[in-house]
Structure 1
Amino acid sequence: MKLHLSAAAAAFLLLAGVGIATAEDIIIQPEQETVIREYVKKQPLASVKVPGVELSIGTALPDTVELREVPNVKYRYVVIDNRTVLVDPSTHKIVKVYD
């Protein structure tokens, strides 16, 4: 009986962990989105190449990639392969890719 209880408890904790991970999804408020888009248009950067990096949410960029600050916004940006990429500076993970 203990074995079944432990398996049930483990399954519950696993499902609870999935719920927590979903709650941590990045949400950029519409006001911030506007600030970011306008700033990036006014402060264009030269596009860089980062071989072997897939431009998708959650991908970590190498520390050698120089990120630019957006005033009053937590995230930073860089232009890779002519696409603007918003990055969490503490983890270097991509949080949004603009087309």
Structure 2
Amino acid sequence: MKILVISAASLFLSLGGAAFAQTTTVVVPGEVRTYVEKQETPSVTFEGDVAVGTAFPDTVEIHKIPDQPDYGYVVVNKKRVLVNPKTRTVIEVIK
């Protein structure tokens, strides 16, 4: 019985840590959002969910933001999305 209780506690603690790790928030500079909102970029279609952490394939063109090498953007399914250009993952869905 003690082994079961210890195993359950270990599982709870390990899952709690995993959930915490996934809630990391990236603080995006306001000028990055403003730049992306003003761009006239056509929307591309992407099958699947577009959410923080989604990785885009190489077929989706990520646009550069001047003087902001850590951020890129794409308009996907009519939503403006900030992307980490190195990992191609979504940082924030703007609108």
Q: Specify if TM > 0.5.
A: yes
TM-score scaled to structure 2, two decimals?
Answer: 0.70
Q: Given residue 80 of structure 2, which amino acid in structure 1 is its aligned partner? A: T
Given that 1:53 and 1:61 are in contact with CA atoms closer than 8 Å, whether structure 2 keeps it comes out as no
The structure carrying a bigger helix percent of its residues is: 1
| Identity within the alignment, % | 34
Q: Where do residues 13-92 of structure 1 align in structure 2 (5 Å cutoff)?
A: 13-22=14-23, 24=24, 26-29=25-28, 32=29, 34-40=30-36, 41=38, 43-50=39-46, 52-70=47-65, 71-72=67-68, 74-92=70-88
RMSD between superposed Cα atoms in Å:
2.3
* Structure 2 unaligned regions, length at least 5: none
Q: 2-side partners of 1:54 and 1:16: how far apart?
A: 25
Q: 2-side partners of 1:78 and 1:12: how far apart?
A: 37
TM-score scaled to structure 1, two decimals?
Answer: 0.68
Deviations, residues 30-87 of structure 1 (Å, cap 9, x unaligned): xx1x21133221x43222223x133333322222111112222522101223321111
How many residue pairs get matched?
A: 92
